[in-house]
Structure 1
Amino acid sequence: MVKMVDVARLANVSTATVSRVLRNPESVKEHTRLKVLNSIEELNYQPNVLARHFRRNKTNTILVIVPNIANTIFSQIVRGIEATASEKNFRVLLGNTNRDVEKEYDFLNLLHQRQVDGLILLSGKIDHDILSELKDKYPLVLASEYVDDVEIATVCIDNIKSSFEATEHLIKQGHKRIGHISGPMNSLLSFDRLSGYNQALKEYHIDESKDLIREGDFSYETGYQQMCELLILPEPPTAVFAANDEMAMGAINASKKKGLSVPKDLAVVGFDNIRFSSIFDPGVTTIAQPAVEMGNIAMELLLQKLDDPDFENKRITLKSELIIRESCGSNIVETSQ
């Protein structure tokens, strides 16, 4: 079956542009619009016309777009969404993108075709102009991630404050050379976790070093790779704050591979409190997000927007918690006063 991404490739444009041509063609320059329309004709791309024109009643189905369902933080959020949805006789249709933003646009067709009543996004990667158009036309809630330049109903945590707390914990264990493995810096969430790290260093008068900051993509593999890079520095860090637990686990195993002991030689703190963080060796000290509650509230917000399209687009910020386990060395390194 021909997908929107196929049209985009042939026309040499983004899927966001194809989406605009289909929804709001006058907003696209004529030359570009014609390229897209010619590609649609050549590929015989056919959005679900029947659904678009004839499906007017409620479907009692909502779409949840997930960056990576294998990451248990997202599966926990979905569990919360499904629990609340089930209580209200709604079904949940899951769209797993595996962090491919192009797939997000394909899933959005279900919304345009009225095959679902509303959308919960667990990613903020969609073009913000399109995101703004979507929230004006459809019931839409953003959960876990967030954006600053679009007024949209959102449920999240304070990532700056949480990351400050994670870094501060390492500082209070006596560490002064603390590395950070960030998420992709095109994400506001990653930027805020980096900001919390930097703020903690500044407050405790610890010099910032760009050499100690490495960009990952939230995967175990980049945690491993970036930790290897940190360990070959002339002065490697004695502690690392990773922007999620998967990268923290990668960092721990990279250190073990180099013959280091965690936490004796290197303290590590992660983020998210995924299911495996408590059974990993050593157990990962981490920031716990109230993921199931986040899903519950996101679904409640969406139901309110389904009942009232003019319902306020508010941001709800939930509390996180620092969970201390073996990887940070709290039980073997005395706190510096």
Structure 2
Amino acid sequence: MATIKDVAAVAGVSFTTVSHVVNNSRPVSADVRTKVERAIRELNYVPSAVARSLKARATATIGLLVPNGTNPYFAELARGVEDGCAQKGYCVFFCNSDDDPAKQRSYLRVLQEKRIDGLILASAGEDAVLAATLAEAREPLVVVDRNIEGLDADLVQIDHERGAWLATRHLIELGHLRIGCITGPVSTAVSAMRVHGFLRAMAGRGIEIPPGAIVESDFSGSGGYRAAAQLLDTVRPTAIFACNDMMGIGALRAAAERGLSVPGDCSVIGFDDIEFGHFTWPTLSTVGQSVRALGEMAALTLIERISGAAEAGAPGRRRLMAPRLIARESTGPLVSVSDVKSLAA
């Protein structure tokens, strides 16, 4: 690999002159610039990003740390972060913690060693050690999706509680009273807020929740499948609110295996509005906001901190995106006993 000294030898100038041309740090004559640029092309010289970052004290890179890279939600979030960074000339280092707090802390150290300019973090559950570590970090930080207790940082997230309330109210307005809820791990703030929205909607209409109607799982398709199977075999709800779309997709599978039509026998609604939900059969009703837009907002919020557009040391800001109801094919009116009799006749 060619070095700056190789370029200087071919161009017949000093290596400091090459540095001035590459970094535009001092004026050089047009003739000298032409010689240096020709030598760079001939040798296919690539300037050292590390050396340049040490001089400029900036790398134009940010770190993105997510808990589950296989979840389409976080894949879409990453794409949004990348889009936002590209607008401002930043690159992204992507790390996946596999929902493991220890791995999350390890990746955080690696990213800091790479001299990133800032960090976007979707946390892998509760971790008191992580909050203390991040509080001491020098780099600007934006937390997305999942808040971290005890940490004062910019936060970008959707209104989880209102989204769950909208989803549950949609089912109630369709005539459903026996509604099951599939939640993610109760240790996460996201799960707690979404369950709270479900409970608030049910209580607001005075609807009793059957025993066993709230089932804890994980935020995966297989987790949703197992939880929905449990609900359908015991509680037998006429509708299910799944606290994310992947669990909702799992619920569609569980219903199909039992010969139940969706939404005829059981309506299903998810949360997040991931792209995959457009292509299930039936298409999945959901609540949410563009996940890519959420990632883009997180990136631009971080770059505001890095560039100084947001005052350094100022208290963390909370940017809350309003959810919307997206009613598709997986939710429909409750078929009453009288309706069934009329159809049979």
**TM-score under structure 1 length normalisation:** 0.78
Aligned partners of 2:103, 2:194: CA distance in 1, in Å?
Answer: 26
**1:97 is matched with which residue?**
97
Query: Residue 45 of structure 1 aligns with which residue?
Result: none
The residue number in structure 2 matching 1:158 is: 159
1:136 is displaced (CA, Å) by: 4.3
Choose 118-127 or 179-188, whichever is displaced more. 118-127
Tell me the percent identity.
Answer: 34
Cα deviations by residue, 1:82-135 (Å, 9 ceiling, x for unpaired): 122122221100001232222211111124425312110022536235324414
Residue 272 (1) aligns with residue 272 (2): yes
| Cα contact 2:131–2:149 (8 A) shared by 1 | no
For each residue in 1:13-60, what CA deviation from the matched residue of structure 2 results, as whole angstroms up to 9, or x when unmatched?
A: xxxxxxxxxxxxxxxxxxxxxxxxxxxxxxxxxxxxxx9xx9572121
Is there any run of 5+ residues in structure 1 with no aligned partner, and where?
Answer: 1-50
Partner of residue 172, structure 2 = 171
Structure 1 residues 327 and 192: CA distance shift in structure 2, 3 A: same
CA deviation digits over 1:53-82, x for unaligned, max 9?
Answer: x95721211110012223222222222211
Residue 296 to residue 312, structure 1, CA distance change in 2 (3 Å): farther
In structure 2, relative to structure 1, the CA distance for the partners of 1:219 and 1:106 (3 Å cut) is: same
Q: Distance in 2 between matches of 1:226 and 1:134?
A: 35
Q: Which aligned pairs between 1:63-74 and structure 2 lie closer than 5 A?
A: 63-74=63-74
Question: In the alignment, what sits opposite 1:204?
Answer: 205
1:151 partner amino acid: D
Moved over 3 A (4+): none
> What does residue 307 of structure 2 align with?
307
Q: Is this contact kept in 1: 2:242–2:269, CA < 8 A? A: yes
Distance 2:148 2:294 in 1: 16
Q: Structure 1's 99 and 133: CA in aligned 2 closer, same or farther, altered over 3 A?
A: closer
1:319 aligned onto 2:331: no
Question: How far apart in 2 are the matches of 1:85 and 1:285?
Answer: 31
Task: Determine whether 1:329 maps to 2:336.
Answer: no
Matched length: 280
Structure 2 stretches of 5 or more lacking a match? 1-49, 337-345
Structure 1: how far apart are the matches of 2:224 and 2:121? Answer: 25
Deviation at 1:323, TM superposition (A): 0.5
What residue in structure 2 maps to residue 123 of structure 1? 123
Over aligned residues, Cα RMSD in angstroms? 2.1
Using the alignment, how far apart are the partners of 1:88 and 1:321 within structure 2? Answer: 29
TM-score by length of 2: 0.76
1:17 matched residue in structure 2: none
What does residue range 14-93 of structure 1 map to in structure 2 within 5 Å? 57-93=57-93
User: Which sits farther off after the overlay, 175-184 or 126-135?
Assistant: 126-135
Alpha-carbon distance between aligned partners in 1 of 2:211 and 2:152, rounded to the nearest angstrom: 33
Q: In the alignment, what sits opposite 1:109?
A: 109
Q: Aligned equivalents of 2:274 and 2:60: distance in 1?
A: 30
Q: Over alpha carbons, which structure has the higher Rg?
A: 2
Distance 1:115 1:150 in 2: 22
Q: What is the CA-CA distance between 1:321 and the residue it aligns to? A: 1.1
Distance 1:126 1:183, change over 3 A: closer
User: What is the alpha-carbon distance in structure 2 between the residues aligned to residue 61 and residue 147 of structure 1?
Assistant: 23
The question of whether the paired residues in 2 share the 8 Å contact of 1:290 and 1:319 is answered with no
| Structure-2 separation of matches of 1:101 and 1:128 | 10
